[in-house]
Amino acid sequence: MDKLTLTDTIKALTAMERTLECAVCLGTLKPPLVMCTNNHCVCSSCGEDLKECPTCRTEMASNVRYPIAFNNILNEIPRKCDFSEHCKQFMLGPELKEHRKICPYRLIACKIVSCSWEGPFQSLLEHVKTEHQESVVENKVSSVTFSDFSVNEAYYCVKLVFYKDFLFWMYTKNDPTKGKYKAIVIHIPQGVQAFKCEIKFSSEFINFTYMFKVLSEDVDIDESFPIGKILSISSDELSPFLDDNKQLSYRINIIDITPKIKPKTEHPENENTNILLNMLQRIENKTLCQFCKNTFLPPLRLCHNYHIYCKNCEATTCSLCNNSDLVSYLDIKQKCRHSNECEEVLEKVALEKHERICKYRTVLCQIIGCSEKVQLINLCDHIKTTHSTYSIFDEDDSVLWHDFDLNTDSYFVEFVNGTDSLYWFVTKHDVKKSKLFLFFISLPLVDNLSMYSTIFFPNSCSNDEHTYTQPVFDENTNINDVFAKENCMAIASKDLSPYINSDEGGLECSYTIFDKNKQ
Q: How far apart are CA 422 and CA 415, in angstroms?
A: 8
pLDDT digits (tens, 9 = 90+) for 72-126: 667 666 777 877 777 877 777 777 778 888 888 888 999 999 999 999 998 999 9
Averaged over 12-17, what is the pLDDT?
A: 69
- 222 with 204: CB under 8 angstroms? no
Q: Which of 136-145, 294-303, 341-350 has the lowest mean pLDDT?
A: 294-303
Averaged over 55-83, what is the pLDDT?
A: 70
Averaged over 292-317, what is the pLDDT?
A: 66
pLDDT at 427: 95
Q: Do domains 107-256 and 391-518 have the same CATH topology?
A: yes
pLDDT at 282: 58
For the chain, give the percent of residues with pLDDT over 90.
37
Residue 188, CA distances (Å) to 67, 89, 141, 193, 503 in order: 39, 19, 19, 10, 89
Q: How far apart are CA 425 and CA 305, in angstroms?
A: 45
Q: Please say if the pLDDT value at position 228 is more than 60.
A: no
Q: In terms of pLDDT, which residue wins out, 454 or 47?
A: 454
- Which residues, at least 6 apart from 339, have a Cβ–Cβ distance to it below 8 Å? 358, 360, 361, 375
Q: Which of 131-140, 225-234, 371-380 has the lowest mean pLDDT?
A: 225-234
Phi-psi region of 324 (alpha: psi -120 to 50; beta: other; left: phi over 0): left
Residue 407, CA distances (Å) to 124, 258, 433, 458 in order: 82, 96, 11, 21
Report the candidate in 303, 309, 307, 348 with the shortest Cα–Cα distance to residue 326: 303
Question: Cis peptide before 31, with omega less than 30 degrees from 0?
Answer: no
- Domain map (residue ranges) of the chain: 107-256, 391-518
Q: How far apart are CA 327 and CA 290, in angstroms?
A: 12
Q: Please say if the pLDDT value at position 398 is more than 60.
A: yes
Q: Which of 17-21, 92-96, 311-315, 492-496 has the highest mean pLDDT?
A: 492-496
Strand partners of residue 251 = 143, 200
Strand partners of residue 163 = 166
pTM above 0.85, yes or no: no
What one-character DSSP code corresponds to residue 449? -
Q: What percent of the chain is helix, strand and coil (3-state, nearest 5)?
A: 25, 35, 45
pLDDT at 266: 46
Averaged over 271-294, what is the pLDDT?
A: 58
- Which residues, at least 6 apart from 518, have a Cβ–Cβ distance to it below 8 Å? none
In total, the chain counts a number of residues equal to: 519
Q: Which fold has domain 391-518?
A: 2.60.210
* 267 confidence band (pLDDT: 50, 70, 90): very low
pLDDT digits (tens, 9 = 90+) for 288-297: 566 676 665 5
Mean pLDDT score of the chain, rounded to an integer? 82
Q: Please say if the pLDDT value at position 163 is more than 90.
A: no
pLDDT at 1: 44
The CATH code that applies to domain 107-256 is 2.60.210.10
Handedness of CA 278, 279, 285, 289 (dihedral sign): negative
Long-range contacts of 123-127 (CB under 8 A, 24+ apart): 124/160, 124/167, 124/188, 125/160, 125/162, 125/167
pLDDT digits (tens, 9 = 90+) for 344-391: 888 778 888 999 999 999 999 999 999 899 999 999 999 999 999 999
